[in-house]
Homo-oligomer: A and B are copies of this chain.
Amino acid sequence: MDTLTQARIKEIRSLSEKKYRQQTGLFVVEGEKMVEEAISSGFEPVELYRRDQIGEKAMSRISGMVTPSPVLAVLRQRSYEMPDISKGLFVALDGVRDPGNFGTIVRLCDWFGVDAIFASEDSVELYNPKVVQATMGAIFRKKVIYCDLEQLCARFAASSIPVYGTLLDGDDIYSQPLTANALIVMGNESNGISARVRSHVTSAIRIPSFTGGAPTAESLNVAIATAVTLSEFKRKFHKLW
């Protein structure tokens, strides 16, 4: 730990790039709380650097933060097998590109007890540092699986599990009898659910706006829409009304 060579510093910094994360299968986590949560969730640090051991200057060179955190860990990425989809609540992200949105959605899927999260290959990468930090630790507890969403939807259909999608012409979510077992598809920030995936949606839902005829906000942010949708699913499933 006392010999943090130039080469090692460069290697750690390079993990801010997707290319190097994919080559090495590693990623970086910063902050006391995040590192603690990683360890308590069974992520064994490959390397662990503390400011009070390597010094402020070395820390600022390996940190991706404006203000270097007191602790930085290099962790090994996990890859998750396809879970049993016959029972449970699942979320699929179709082209969610913004790291803040993606990380926030992982965080709220943790809060609302979603069983696993799927993401299309054109979504932002899970181990992007901005995604990691936005999950606030949920990344260590939730399974996130990148896959072809059309094939995924077909698997849910084959198991007779509804595929919900938020669409402009969907039915009012508040008055829908939602199911306990479900896949909920959320779309891209600008374009919504892709045409390919949309054709597999079996239950189109919509969060109504309440502006009462006044000019309306044209849409909700995808993380906000996911939160409202999950809140409705969990409330109804738990008969919390």
Residues of A within 8 A of B (CB): 37, 40-41, 100, 104, 107-108, 110-113, 136-138, 141, 172, 174-175, 207, 209-212, 214-218, 220-221, 223-224, 227-228, 231-232, 234-235, 238, 240-241
CA distance A136 to B228 in the complex (A): 19
A38 to chain B, nearest CB (A): 12
Task: List B contacts of A113 (CB < 8 A).
Answer: 209-212, 214
CA distance A46 to B137 in the complex (A): 46
CA distance A107 to B209 in the complex (A): 11
- Chain B minimum-CB-distance residue to A237: B210
CA distance A136 to B215 in the complex (A): 13
Task: List B contacts of A221 (CB < 8 A).
Answer: 104, 107-108, 223
Task: List B contacts of A37 (CB < 8 A).
Answer: 215
- Chain B minimum-CB-distance residue to A241: B241
Beyond A136-B217, A211-B113, A235-B174, whether A108 also contacts B240 by CB under 8 A is no
**B210–A238 contact, CB under 8 A?**
yes
A141 to chain B, nearest CB (A): 6
**A175–B240 contact, CB under 8 A?**
yes
**A224–B104 contact, CB under 8 A?**
yes
A124 to chain B, nearest CB (A): 16
**A217–B175 contact, CB under 8 A?**
no
CA distance A224 to B229 in the complex (A): 11
Q: List 9 A-B contacts (CB under 8 A).
A: A104-B224, A107-B217, A112-B209, A113-B212, A138-B217, A172-B240, A174-B240, A175-B240, A210-B238
The 4 closest A-B pairs by CB, nearest first: A113-B210, A174-B240, A110-B217, A111-B217
A202 to chain B, nearest CB (A): 22
**A110–B216 contact, CB under 8 A?**
yes
CA distance A113 to B100 in the complex (A): 26
CA distance A227 to B212 in the complex (A): 18
Beyond A104-B221, A104-B224, whether A210 also contacts B241 by CB under 8 A is no
Task: List B contacts of A207 (CB < 8 A).
Answer: 231
**A111–B209 contact, CB under 8 A?**
yes
Beyond A234-B210, A238-B210, A241-B174, whether A220 also contacts B108 by CB under 8 A is yes
CA distance A95 to B144 in the complex (A): 33
